[in-house]
Every structure is written in C-alpha cells, then in structure tokens.
Amino acid sequence: MSSVQTTVASEYSSEIQTVPIEHRFNPYSDNGGTVLGIAGEDFAVLAGDTRQVEGYSIQSRYESKIHDVGDDILMTANGFAADGVALIDRFKQSLIWYKFDNNGKKLAIKSAARYIQQLLYGKRFFPYYVSTLIAGLDEEGKGAVYSYDPVGSYEREQCRAGGAAASLIMPFLDNQVNFKNQFVPGTDGKEKKPLKFLTLEEVIQLVRDAFTSAGESIYMLVMD
C-alpha cells in the first residue's frame, strides 16, 4: 500500500489541508460456486454447480466447473474463475508434455495429485485462489478423490466439498458417505453403522440431494 500527500480545500473551511490518499489493489475475486467429489469402490464422481457470480451480479448460469483433463482424470478449481482456468490449463499442458516425453504413457492419479501439489506450492507467494479437487481411479481400479488448499497441502479422501456452500454440504456428506453419527437400528445408539461403499446410483442421488438447496443447477462427471 502506498500513500500520496495532496492538498484539498474543505467546503466548510477556507484552510488548505494535507491528507494522504491511499491506493490499494485486490488481485482476487470470489466467483462463488460449490463443488464436491465422492470416491466409490470402482468409480469416482465430481460435481459442481454452473453459476458464476461476482458480488450481486450473475455472470453466467451455464459455466461448468468440472473438467475432464485427460488420462481419465477429472478436475475442478473453484473460487476465483481466472485462477481456476489458469491452473487447469497449466495441468492440461503438462499432461501433453508428459505423454510426449513418455511415449504416450498414462499419468496415474497418484502422480497427477503430486504434480498438482507442486504447481500450487510453486505459486505459494501469490497463490491460486481456488479450492481444487481431482478424481479418478487408482492403480487398483478403486475410486480416488484428492483435495487441496490454495498452497498445495493435499490428501486423499472418501468425499470432499469445496466452495461457497461447502459448510452446508460437508456435514451431509460426512453423515451419508462416512456414516458419522449413524447407528444400527435397534441398538439405542450403541453400535455404529459399519462403513461400506455406496453404489453409483446411490452416489448420484446423494449428489442431487446435496445440491438441491445449495445450487441452481449441477454438472456431474463420473469416472468408472
């Protein structure tokens, strides 16, 4: 932040006063939106709403946040739309060079997760202002979802929500996917419901229910 000394005359006084004029620039903007990812036994789902906003203005109702970037990898970078586009384009370009350098070899989801971590960490002093998720199948054919913070910290999870309505959707996913606070009927809340993978049909219905109160419309991609 910088300041410039200037002189102004008040309409209520003939005296000349010296006051600082401050200049500031915010390089980021929050374009809203919500995304979520769920990993199944042999599939992974990435979904997000299609509305892009800035303040009280709706810029688009049909802007997808979910991208098939290649090599059976789904990706979303939700938050500041320009940063999201830049990050996804960088990763797509890196995939092209990887296949060129490795005779068309497919990039594993685990390796992709690590590389995106390096992209985000490399911008840590001027970070991409986005909530990033990727989804795909691992080497064993099991669903995988990786979530990131803006500076590259990441982990593999069963489910994750990000964006404006994440605080509403994540407790719902914790209950319905991770079975938190779910108990076997007839045990008076003493026996926890055992964890199990949901079917693809159950996950799709779950995504629809999650976005019913959190989004105007949804766009969903499934990798199986």
Look up residue 31 and give its amino acid: N
Let me know: does 42 contact 92? Beta carbons within 8 Å. Answer: no
User: pLDDT > 90: what percent of the chain?
Assistant: 71
**Model-level pTM greater than 0.95?**
no
CB 135 within 8 A of CB 159: no
- Residue 1 pLDDT more than 90? no
pLDDT in tens, 52-74: 999 899 999 999 999 999 999 99
Q: Which CATH number fits domain 2-223: 3.40.50.300, 3.90.79.10, 3.40.50.2300, 3.60.20.10?
A: 3.60.20.10
Question: Dmax of the chain from CA atoms?
Answer: 83
Average pLDDT (96-111) is: 94
Domain ranges of the chain: 2-223
Residue pair 136/73 in contact (Cβ under 8 Å)? The answer is yes
